[in-house]
Amino acid sequence: MMEPGLYHLLFISAALFFIGVFGFFTRRNLITMLMSIELVLNSVNLNFIAFNKYLWPNRLDGLFFSIFVIAIAAAEAAVAIAIIINLYRSHQSIDVENAEEMKF
Amino acid sequence: MNLISLIGLPLLTAVAILLMRNPQQVKWTALIGATLQFALAFALLFTFRNERAAGNEAQMLFELQYNWFPSLHISFHLGVDGISVAMILLTAFVVIAGVLVSWNVTKMTKEFYFLLILLSFGAYGFFISLDLFILFFFLEIAVIPKYLLIGIWGSGKKENAANKLALMLMGGSALVLVGLLGVYFGSPERTFDLISLSQLHIPITVQKICFPLLFVGFGVFTALFPFHTWVPDGHSSAPTAGSMFLAGISMKLGGYGCLRVATYMMPDGAKEYANIIIVLSTIAILYGAFATMMQKDLKYINAYSSVSHCGFVLLGIGMLTKTAMTGAVMQMVSHGLMTALFFAVIGMIYERTHTRQVNEMGGLLKVMPFITTVLFIVGLCSLGLPGLSGFVAEMTILMGSWQQPDTFHRVATIAACMSIVVTAVYILRAIGQTAMGPIKAEFSNLTDAAWNEKLAAVILIAGIIAIGIAPFWLNDLVSPAADIIMHKVAGK
Amino acid sequence: MNDFLILMKSELVITLILFVLLIIKVGTEMKNDRFLSLVQFLLLANFIAGFFFNEAGSLFGGLFTTNALMTFQKSILSLGVYLISLLFADWLKKSEHMPEFFILMLSALLGMFFMISSGSLLMFFLSLELSTIPVAAMANFDLEKKIASEASMKMILSSAFSSGILLFGISLIYGATGTISFTEMPALLDGSPLQILAFVFLFGAFAFKLSVVPFHLWTADVYEGAPIAVSSFLSVISKGSIAFILLTALYKVFGPMHNVWYNMLMILSIATMVIGNLFALRQQNMKRFLAYSSIAQVGFILVGLSGNSFEGISSVVYFVLIYTFSNLAAFGVAGVISQQTGKERIDDYKGLYQTNPFISWILALALFSLAGIPPTAGFFGKLFLITAGAAKGNYFFITMAALNLIVSLFYYLRVIRAVFMDKNEQPIEKINMHPSTKLGMIICGAGIVFVGLLSWIYDYIVALTV
Amino acid sequence: MNDLLQIRVLQVLPLGWDLGWALILIPLLPLAGFLLLGLFGRKYLQRSSGILATLLLLSSTVLSLYTAYGYFFEFGKVDGIYQKIIPFQFTWLQFSPGVSIDMGVILDPISVMMLVVVSFISLMVHLYSLAYMKGEERFPTYFAFLGLFTFSMLGLVMSSNIFQMYFFWELVGVSSFLLIGYYYDRPSAVAACKKAFIVTRFADLGFLIGILVLAFYAGTLDFNTLIQRLTSTSAPEFQAAIASSFLGVSALTWALVLVFIGGAGKSAMFPLHIWLPDAMEGPTPVSALIHAATMVVAGVFLVARLFPVFSMSPPALDVVAYTGIFSALFAALIACTQTDIKRVLAYSTMSQIGFMMFALGVSGWGGENGLGFTASMFHLFTHAMFKALLFLGAGSVIHFIHSNEMKDMGGLRKYLPVTHITFLIACLAISGVPPFAGFFSKEEILLAAFNHNPAIYWTALITSGLTAFYMFRLYFSVFWNKEATVHGEHHGEGGFAMMLPLVLLAAGAAFAGFIPFGNFVSTDGKPLESAFHLQFSIAPVLLGLAGIFTAMWLYKKQNDRPASIAASLSGFYKAAYHKFYMDELYLFITKKILFNLIGRPAAWFDKNVVDGMVIGAGNTTQAISEKIKQFQSGKVQQYAIYFLAGVIGLAVLFIYIWK
């Protein structure tokens, strides 16, 4: 069994990225949209790791960066969930289409 | 003579007005301020003449220069030559008259006078500034007060008129801005200083782009066809003093800018576009005159005739001869005084008859001899009666125009001459229908002018006649400055 | 150790204040208005402290750098925060969670400080998030209002999305250059397609924060939904901080690619000015109106940015300073009015001058300054931005900018007209403000009048830039 | 500021005749009257204003007579030739080097002659008005205007610079406007004064352009220099003016014709005469002064002033001649049919001025050829006398009967003896019956015409016959014809103040003819011996008498002959009665063409097109902003889509397209 190369990883991460974006565009449930964002972030992490491993193995920038990304993602998710919960309180739903009051 | 005083005084007056308690105090403060301005303007005139008489041949007198945003090569550079002095005198006349005629403004008196004085501040600054940046600064300062004056104290469709005016004038100044920046970056040396720019040779390519921008930009202010449409609405819905300032001062900002900034700085551009200017201004002259014939509202009559008269200013500039240019400046002064007086009279009549429709009036000469006499005088001045300022200015322009020997200029000049007849037609119609004829019953117990109105009228008439019977002093003042500009144009 | 204390001084001060507030919040039962005045005092102190003991240098292997200009930018931001604490005193006094508000705001401010002086993409990313997430929470501060929660939802989701894009761009740059530090990067940039792609992604995030068209759509909704204090914070402070870091990013980091981003800025700024103006034309809600007007303002900031010269830097910093005064004054007035009367529509402002001349004059000053009418500072700000942008001699660009000035004037005059000219049967009744609000407005007014006329302020900024 | 205004003394007058101040005072005294009465008249001088004005004018008349005496008999003549003397001048407005408006005074035969005429007639009219206008509410204003007019007219005749002349030319027009509109509450008066001003203004347009052309070629506005340069065939200016031509006519001719148009306007030559009859709306003394004696001859004076230049361009002279003779005949025909006594006089004025004009037109330069010039000036002089007299007489008739219509008059000779006699004298004079003044001047004119152009001569002859006819038609139907119907008390002839001028003018009309006019006024300043050829005079005199007797036959007694004759040539009569429909023509041109075809479209264009563009721009912007609002849908996911689209769009743009 051959070992995966940079391009395999990049391909996967790109796929992840677009899956995430697609989910974000199409899903109506706010939580799901949040999860799709996580996909995007993870694709980024994958990028960092891959670049770090295959292109610039002698520095750890990528590695560290992905760690920080994970942390930030957690924080973001926390606040987002809180906001969504509050939204649920006021709207009695977490469907994004019910929160389109302000427009134009 | 320190030119700072010229802009400092209005500023102080404005501040003082804000501090005043009751309308009475406000009025008197404004009047005193205006009187001081008047005195100051004359002081300037005499000191200027003495300097010249003493053989001071510097292009600009009383120059001063302070650093202001040095990193952008902006300097607070002031100075006057004959043209500026003439315009400053005009401003002083109009301001004092405007303050006087609006003596019984009751609505928000303080704000009203504050804005008036602010306007004069902008005008003075514009006329004495020798740095393009501060010139532009003062130019724009003069716009918003007009907007508020019309919008708050105006009559009729005032909001729309105010909007149109503000936006068109701002549009003009936007073009000016682009032109200025083009000059700033296009000239060999980065500077906003007008004098040094005029000594540098601005590349012809830059001139070709920037001259039209600047000229049209300023032209909007002075009712360059077809950008004149703010004039009728703006004037007619403005309060009396507002119209006086608008037509008397602010339209002159444009003419002055066309002359001092566009033409003086970019003579090659001027030569390039002279014919277009002539065509447009000739159209304005005739077309304005003919449009006036159809008007029934006194203010519209004067507004359209202003379009026609200001056409003469631009014609004088476009002809690119010294005489015509001198005439253009004279026309600015003359028209400023005249139209201010005209609007003042219209205001007086309107206050009494509560109509501005000529066909609703008649025989007012019987009940208000003073006001109608003033109406006669201003009307005759407008149709160029010798002995009044209009004659001098227009004749100078025509003489200057005729010096251009080719057919194109000839045709333009003759067309301009024709307007004199049309002017006679509409002026006489207006006067005949308002002042003469049998008087209407409802007007038969109206009162004549009050002291402030009389004073205002007398001041302006004095100016008009002073030019009309002794034009040589104005000529001596203006023509050397015009000569300098023309030398630049002639490339000597 | 020592220079650590000096160089990170501003950040440390903010952190200190944060801790003080936390302790007070947790440990004591301080009354709202005492707390408020304390905060105001602390923020003022912070602002003043910003002018002392400033040294240039970098820490942590270039992760954190600072210099005179950056500290000045930071003090502009802290000034803005101070003004916010003054202007919205009434609203703050009423809400029972005031300490949290300040804690969130200050942590966002802290993030911005770090962002301004960040020396690497990692630092930048972290501080960006730090400056965003708390604001999203703040947007939801009126817990019971529906639109508030909608606004904050929109904000958090779209900012999460934008940070996803941002990170993707960063990762690409990292892949292309192998570094994330601002100092090493320029040498390695050659404008290869991959780098352009990465840059565009990166720039998208900036544009999102700065609400540049077409990344601006969240702005209006969030401004409308969030409490006015938060909207003003968003529109002034966070925009300012992004503009500052954008200066560093474009001029220092991506300098080699400037012919790419110059055109990009031109397109985007024209689009931004036009769209912002066109949307502002038909707004009825004051907050939404201000949102779009601030979008249009951003367009002008981009004009200045495109100059790519020290004039560009100084004019942008100068403009942000002026913009802080003008926009905060406008938001302050809107805030006071909606706080006291609940009226937010422009038509409600009709006849305001009759009842509240002071507020009306402040509003007029602010709007004239935003419209760029002399003698207000906005005139100078706009003019210098355009001057900086005109250096390339791109007449089309400049003419577009100048024409947009007129359109913007049109809708600013709409408000002026409502306030000063239009008749109204029941105008907004006389409003009596909290003294500190009045103080804030006076400061703003003074700023609007004098920042422009006193040329040494601009010269000072220029001195900092070169 | 004396450094501004330098008065240059060009020719120092001989000792004892240093008239500097006198000369300035001649016009300034009436001006002083105008200012005084205009400013304070209504308040303080209601009664005394008339006396005051008259005294002022008296003094300036004395001064001008003094000047005339001095010029003609003491210092004017240098070795047999009358000089053009310019005592002083000052630059009023400097256009460009050489070209400037100089205010100055020129003394030469015609100007001095005009000085006398104007001041004398004006004095007479002042006197007359004292009684005639008594009790008018705007009594002071009236005299103020008279003063203004006299000032302008005197200034006009003394002008040493063509632009100075234009200056006063306009002023004259305005004062005439003011005086015609004196009864401002009569719509007819208002219409008349507007008409008079606008028509003359239109003519002045020609004058102005003519001045521009002359100034361009001559490079000066000063009369003397201008005449020098444009009359010496060698001068480069003259060459240029001849060489350059437009539509095949030389610039010189163009300029002169244009100037003549100005003159024709003021002098009511066809077709610019339409304002004159209406101008009779003014007070009768005003008509006597302005529209008979002085202002209307300004055109003649203008041509005379520029006559040396005219004589260099035969085409221009022909224009003058033919316009003159046609107007003369045309007016005479109309005059025969009018029933308003003042209008008859107006048309006769027009006709007489026609005589003067074509006299100039047929004249040549120097010696005997210059007869026409002399004759014209002579006729101007005499005509001033008897026409003023006629008008004043008519004035007292109207004053007496309170109507202008002939049919209300008749048999007044008993009531107005003095008026009757003086009027008769005037009629004889104008009809050219010897030995009255008109005879001599008209003879000279006819002689000049005879020598030059038979066609003109015969027409003139017929016209002079017609003149006699219509004048006596007037005379008989006013003073004889039916018995007077005088109702109620009447105030005779208005007393001394009104009769003295009549008598004085009558004396003038009777004896002015014996002045050897040629000795004083001639083209080249040399005395011109105006010889009488008795056999030549027979024809005109006989014709005149014929006219008189026809009139007597028709109008002495009341009868139906006039009606029947009128009926017999009805069509022509009608046309003449309606002044050949000139007014209608003008009305058509102004109302239909000027207003409807130019003014209205211009106004419409401005309102809808020019303004519309501005409004349109605003509305379009609004519309667009309405259109694109969908962009902001409120859906956070769409926002994200736009976001990504933007990013990718930029990426594509800058990676592939815009490298």
Q: What is the pLDDT of residues C86-101, one digit of tens each?
A: 999 988 888 888 889 9
**CA distances in angstroms from D653 to C191, C263, C264, D649, listed in the order given:** 14, 10, 9, 6
More confident residue, C282 or D78: C282
Contact C112, C127 (CB under 8 A): yes
Using pLDDT thresholds of 50, 70 and 90, give the confidence band for residue D4: very low
Q: Quick one: pLDDT at residue D1?
A: 34
Residue A25, chain D, CB below 8 Å: the answer is yes
Per-residue tokens: C358: 């002071």
pLDDT digits (tens, 9 = 90+) for D217-274: 888 888 888 888 888 888 888 888 878 877 778 888 999 999 999 999 998 888 888 8
pLDDT digits (tens, 9 = 90+) for B156-203: 888 888 888 888 999 999 999 999 999 998 888 888 998 888 888 888
Contact D154, D30 (CB under 8 A): yes
Separation between Cα atoms, residue C276 and residue D631, nearest integer Å = 12
Per-residue tokens: B61: 């007198």
Q: Quick one: pLDDT at residue D38?
A: 84
| Average pLDDT estimate for D475-481 | 82
Write down which chains contact chain B via at least 3 CB pairs under 8 A. C, D
Separation between Cα atoms, residue D31 and residue D529, nearest integer Å = 39
H helices of D236-370, where? 236-243, 251-266, 275-278, 284-288, 298-305, 307-310, 314-335, 341-362
Beta-carbon separation of D640 and A101 below 8 A? no
Contacts across the A-D interface (CB distance below 8 Å): 25
Task: Break chain C into its structural domains and give their ranges.
Answer: 2-465
pLDDT digits (tens, 9 = 90+) for C424-461: 888 888 888 889 999 999 999 999 999 989 989 999 99
Q: Quick one: pLDDT at residue D25?
A: 85
| Average pLDDT estimate for B460-468 | 92
Total residues found in chain A within this entry:
104
Sequence-distant (≥ 6) Cβ neighbours of residue D550 within 8 angstroms: D469
Nearest to B295 by CA among D201, D202, D195, D604: D604
Average pLDDT of chain C is 91
pLDDT digits (tens, 9 = 90+) for C108-130: 999 999 999 999 999 999 999 99
Q: Could you give the angle at which helices C193-210 and C121-139 cross, rounded to 10 degrees? A: 30
Per-residue tokens: B440: 């209407």
Separation between Cα atoms, residue B269 and residue B246, nearest integer Å = 29
Using pLDDT thresholds of 50, 70 and 90, give the confidence band for residue B128: very high
Question: E strands within C114-265?
Answer: none
Q: Give the range of the structural domain holding residue B333, as residue numbers without chain letter.
A: 4-489
SS3 D159: coil
Q: Quick one: pLDDT at residue D487?
A: 60
Separation between Cα atoms, residue C232 and residue C228, nearest integer Å = 6
Using pLDDT thresholds of 50, 70 and 90, give the confidence band for residue C155: very high
In terms of C-beta distances under 8 Å and separation of at least 24 residues, what long-range contacts does D454-459 make, across chains too? D456/D321, D456/D322, D456/D325, D456/D358, D456/D361, D456/D362, D459/D325, D459/D328, D459/D329
| Average pLDDT estimate for C57-65 | 87
Nearest to B472 by CA among D96, D97, D94, D102: D94
Nearest to C134 by CA among C150, C149, C156: C156
Using pLDDT thresholds of 50, 70 and 90, give the confidence band for residue D444: confident
DSSP for B221-268 reads HTT-TTS-THHHHHHHHS-HHHHHHIIIIIHHHHHHHIIIIIIHH-HH
Task: Please count the structural domains in chain A.
Answer: 1
Write down which chains contact chain A via at least 3 CB pairs under 8 A. C, D
ipTM of the complex: 0.89
Q: Quick one: pLDDT at residue D19?
A: 63
In terms of C-beta distances under 8 Å and separation of at least 24 residues, what long-range contacts does C183-191 make, across chains too? C183/C62, C183/C119, C185/C253, C186/C252, C186/C253, C186/C254, C186/C255, C186/C256, C189/C254, C189/C256, C189/C257, C190/C256, C191/C256, C191/C257, C191/C260
Q: Which chain A residue has its CA at the smallest distance from D640's CA?
A: A25
Q: What is the CATH number of the domain that holds A55?
A: 1.10.287.3510
Backbone Cα Rg of chain A:
17
| Average pLDDT estimate for B391-396 | 91
Beta-carbon separation of A97 and D641 below 8 A? no
Reply yes or no on whether the pLDDT at C218 is more than 50. Answer: yes
Q: Could you give the angle at which helices D20-44 and D49-69 cross, rounded to 10 degrees? A: 170
Q: Are strands D88-96 and D7-9 parallel, antiparallel or unpaired?
A: antiparallel
> Is D571 buried (19+), middle (13-18) or exposed (0-12) by CB count in 10 A?
exposed
C389: closest CA of chain D, how far (Å): 20
| Average pLDDT estimate for D602-608 | 85
Separation between Cα atoms, residue C305 and residue C265, nearest integer Å = 8
| Average pLDDT estimate for D588-595 | 78
Q: Give the range of the structural domain holding residue A47, as residue numbers without chain letter.
A: 6-95
Reply yes or no on whether the pLDDT at D2 is more than 60. Answer: no
> Is B62 buried (19+), middle (13-18) or exposed (0-12) by CB count in 10 A?
buried
Residue C282 with chain D: CB contacts under 8 Å: 622, 625-626, 629
Nearest to B351 by CA among B155, B190, B215: B155
Residue C311 amino acid letter: E
Residue D96 dihedral angles phi and psi, to the nearest 5° = -150, 165
| Average pLDDT estimate for C168-185 | 91
Residue C214 amino acid letter: P
C198: closest CA of chain A, how far (Å): 12
Task: Please count the structural domains in chain B.
Answer: 1
> Does an H or E element contain D91, and which?
strand D88-96
Using pLDDT thresholds of 50, 70 and 90, give the confidence band for residue D630: confident
**Which of C127, C159, C167, C284 to mutate to probe the A interface, most A CBs <10 Å?**
C167
Residue A95 dihedral angles phi and psi, to the nearest 5° = -90, 130
DSSP A3: P
How large a percentage of chain C has pLDDT more than 70? 100
Average pLDDT of chain B is 90
Q: Are strands D7-9 and C57-59 parallel, antiparallel or unpaired?
A: unpaired
Contact B337, B86 (CB under 8 A): no
| Average pLDDT estimate for B132-158 | 89
Nearest to B430 by CA among B354, B340, B356: B356
**CA distances in angstroms from D229 to D214, D221, D234, D235, D317, listed in the order given:** 11, 11, 9, 6, 19
Q: Quick one: pLDDT at residue D561?
A: 76
Nearest to B168 by CA among D472, D610, D237: D610
User: How wide is the angle at C-alpha C33 spanned by C-alphas C88 and C344, nearest 5°?
Assistant: 25
Separation between Cα atoms, residue D364 and residue D369, nearest integer Å = 5
Tell me the sheet residues that pair with C65: C58
Chains B and A make contact, 3+ CB pairs within 8 Å: no
Separation between Cα atoms, residue A72 and residue D352, nearest integer Å = 111
Q: Which chain D residue has its CA at the smallest distance from C410's CA?
A: D618
Q: Which of B295, B322, B424 sits opposite D198 (nearest CB)?
A: B424
Residue C154 with chain D: CB contacts under 8 Å: 636, 639
Q: Quick one: pLDDT at residue D15?
A: 54
Q: Quick one: pLDDT at residue B492?
A: 54
Residue C74, chain D, CB below 8 Å: the answer is no
C211: closest CA of chain B, how far (Å): 26
Reply yes or no on whether the pLDDT at D534 is more than 90. Answer: no
More confident residue, D494 or D7: D494
Rounded to two decimals, the pTM is 0.91
Separation between Cα atoms, residue B301 and residue B343, nearest integer Å = 10
Beta-carbon separation of D632 and A103 below 8 A? yes
Contact D60, D118 (CB under 8 A): no
Beta-carbon separation of A103 and D637 below 8 A? no
DSSP B297: B
DSSP for A15-56 reads HHHHHHHHHHHH--BHHHHHHHHHHHHHHHHHHHHHHHHHT-
User: How wide is the angle at C-alpha A51 spanned by C-alphas A48 and A54, nearest 5°?
Assistant: 140
Residue D91, chain B, CB below 8 Å: the answer is yes
Residue C175, chain A, CB below 8 Å: the answer is yes
SS3 D453: coil
pLDDT digits (tens, 9 = 90+) for A9-46: 999 999 999 999 999 999 999 999 999 999 999 999 99
Q: Which residues, numbered 387 to 426 in chain B, qualify as contacts with chain D under a Cβ-Cβ cut-off of 8 Å? A: 387, 391-392, 395-396, 398-400, 402-403, 405, 413-414, 417-418, 420-421, 424-425
Residue C106, chain D, CB below 8 Å: the answer is no
Q: Quick one: pLDDT at residue C444?
A: 95
D35: closest CA of chain B, how far (Å): 13
Q: Quick one: pLDDT at residue D560?
A: 77
pLDDT digits (tens, 9 = 90+) for C10-43: 999 999 999 999 999 888 888 888 889 999 999 9
Average pLDDT of chain A is 90
Q: Quick one: pLDDT at residue D5?
A: 53
Q: Decide if A103 is inside a domain.
A: no
Q: Could you report how far apart the first and last alpha carbons of chain D are, in Å?
A: 71
| Average pLDDT estimate for D441-452 | 85
> Does an H or E element contain C64, and which?
strand C64-66
